[in-house]
Amino acid sequence: MTQRVFVANRGEIAVRIVEACDRLGIATVLGVSSADVRSLAASRATRTVVLGGPQSRQSYLSVDAVLHAAVATGCTALHPGYGFLSERSDLARACAENGIVFVGPSPEALDALGDKLSARALAERLGVPVSPGGTASDWAEVAALAERIGYPILVKAAFGGGGRGMKLVTDAAALADAWSVASSEAQAAFGDGTVFLERYVTDAKHIEVQILGDRHGNRIHLGERECSVQYRYQKVVEESPSSSIDERTRSVLTSSALAIAAELDYVGLGTVEFLVNSRTAEIGFLEVNPRLQVEHPVTEQVTGVDLVREQLLACLGEPLTLRQEDVAMTGHAIECRITAQDPARGLAPTPGHVTRWRPPAGGGIRLDSHVYEGYDFPPFYDALMGKLIAWGTDRPAAVKRMAQALDGFRIDGVTTSLALLQRIIADDAFTANTVTTHWLADAILEKEPA
């Protein structure tokens, strides 16, 4: 059967998926909002159809609009990218009912992983290390559970992510209000107000493992990434491999990720996320992201594996061409997320007309982006402009190359995060990789001039 893939996303990841399909000789249909008709992805896709208005709910978040467009254009598969509908089991089921391959795990796996409480229970059953936590049905149980866990504590939404429905609580006096506010935020953002408690790791390293599975029972991991440089639970800089964990910790992380993948009969790409206490090396399972990740390029750079290509082939029924022993990590890669945000105003969005866009060039430099000179960066979506990736033979070489690449990047017309990224890469704590998940907010952003 001749394959035709519907790309249900926008921005740089839509460009990335279209390019991967082009290399496989697969035609693409891109679904866009009315704001993205002149996007770079639209110019690259085989065909483009308009899903609806500029607001995400009118287009990229409409299951009905996306499915109708995919069926009407005769697509045999649908790639959701990341964000938007990528983790929606109802879309995966609707695809199956209409004879369309969903490029992702099964609806059952999406259901199991969409509920963080269920995912925690799955991890515990498999012997995967999990941070102390849980939920309760009434206030007395909540207070008692918090005392058993010990402060500080995170109140977290059971469904969704991105920092919404998440509150840090440092003492018992603040717990009731945090529980109520987090639940209300979760209800508004995700349609379910279920929240739970989990111990907050003050000095945490955020480490994640890339997994890949096919429909024939084959599963591998492709090493780990460190994503400790983040702000309000949003990642800013990522790298692979992590230089802050030892081989014992690495083995626990990768074996735990594969155990979860095996239990779910996982198909496609997924990322199993953990927090590692930088002082005690204690490991705590966070969640599984059952999709392609924003930071996948750093894994591609150190493994030489085209993850999007492998994801497409695996979900289309092809067996993996890689065995675990074929996966080798070479050198070190760092990714910086360049965004249309103002660091001096708490990273407030700064959409507008891009009057100059002059990326750096050179060996070991990669840029994944949908932006071009003259592009009108829209106000309707996330602020990501592009991902700058630098590879080096070791971490110091990658850091140096990234610093040079950031220094050589020229963007005018909109305020961006370039200056902030330059400060991060040049900071002694980043160079020594002593950063933790709260470092960026505490050491850098709070010092930004007003």
Three-state DSSP at 332 gives strand
- Relative to beta strand 352-353, strand 376-377 is antiparallel
CA distance 213 to 215: 7
pLDDT, averaged across the chain: 95
CA distance 179 to 154: 9
**pLDDT at position 62 over 60:** yes
Q: If DSSP states are collapsed to H, E and C, what string results for 355-398?
A: CEEECCCCCCEEEEECCCCCCEECCCCCCEEEEEEEEECCHHHH
Tokens, residue 92? 């995966």
pLDDT tens-digit map of 402-449: 999 999 999 999 999 999 999 999 999 999 999 999 999 998 886 654
Query: What's the pTM value of the predicted model, to 2 decimals?
Result: 0.94
Three-state DSSP at 355 gives coil
The catalytic residue positions are 291
**DSSP structure class, residue 173:** G
pLDDT given at position 365? 98
pLDDT, average across residues 92-112: 97
pLDDT tens-digit map of 208-245: 999 999 999 999 999 999 999 999 889 999 999 999 99
Estimate to the nearest angstrom the gap between the alpha carbon of 445 and the chain centroid.
Answer: 22
CA distance 295 to 317: 25
